[in-house]
A = this chain, B = another copy of it.
Amino acid sequence: MTAMQKKKAAKTLKGDQTKALILETALEIFRERGYEETTMRAIAEKAGVSLGNAYYYFRSKEYLIQAFYQRLHDEHLAASLPALEDKDTLKARLLAVMRLRIDISKPYHHFAGVLFKTAAHPESPLNPFSDESDPVREQSIALFAKVLEGTKIRIPKDLKAELPYLLWVYQMGIVLFWIHDRSRGHRRTYRLIDHTVDLLDKLIHLASNPFMRPLRKQALRLVEEIREALPDDDDDEKDER
């Protein structure tokens, strides 16, 4: 009756409750066992629903990972905001956010590989590039916009507009490295972050130099070209799903 229900209480719609229950259960088992080792039957059984019911709410097993993405970002954001408060240089802010990303992701290391596995697949709902309806992507880019906002350095408008996106891509690169990183405590990834952030900081300053304007313009046109192509912009659609 009160706010503490277990399972079957329907606050607004019973379906929402069931969906959330399945999701929580799935993430729990994923954390313990990993993705491939977790069966849909195990999820359904532990959640106390039928196998078919899980598929009523999640079109496939992959769709469950989308929620993991969101979960990861939420934790990352929650950890980043306080860390950004006392830092005002781009280098320090970026460094903190990147390091926190790894801190947060650590518990999921052995299971995170599957993220990129499916993410690189064009047909996958997880594809972070072409799936425009993915809200996590927007939020993740917004975090890097926040990293920039808190600094005082002078960045040309054109570059500043694209930089959050570029930093997000950079983060994906780091995560990809981290997935392959088998060193103790992932210290290689941390070291890579240190070095790349240092280099990026220099590059951004260099690119902000008026002297570099033509090259910068060209590079940014390129980025624009790539970004335009990635979302589903086509009129000639062959297969429909």
Contact = CB atoms under 8 A, between A and B. Distances in A.
Contacts of A192: 222, 225-226, 229
Assembly stoichiometry (copies): 2
B225 A191 contact: yes
Nearest to A212: B206
Interface size on A, as a range, is: 35 or more
A117 B113 contact: no
A241 interface: no
Interface of A is mostly: helix
Contacts of A184: 236
A127 B130 CA distance: 22
Interface stretch (A14-22, A46-54, A76-84, A194-202): A194-202
A39 interface: no
A45 interface: no
Interface in A159-190: 176-177, 179-184, 188
Contact of A120 (B123, B176, B230): B176
A219 B231 contact: no
A229 B181 contact: yes
Contacts of A229: 177, 180-181, 183, 188, 192
26 contacts: A113-B121, A113-B123, A114-B121, A116-B120, A117-B121, A120-B120, A120-B176, A120-B179, A122-B179, A127-B180, A130-B180, A177-B226, A177-B229, A180-B229, A182-B232, A182-B234, A188-B225, A192-B222, A192-B229, A195-B218, A195-B221, A195-B222, A195-B225, A196-B222, A199-B215, A199-B219
Interface of A: 113-114, 116-124, 127, 129-130, 176-177, 179-184, 188, 191-192, 195-196, 198-199, 202, 206, 215, 218-219, 221-222, 225-226, 229-232, 234, 236-237
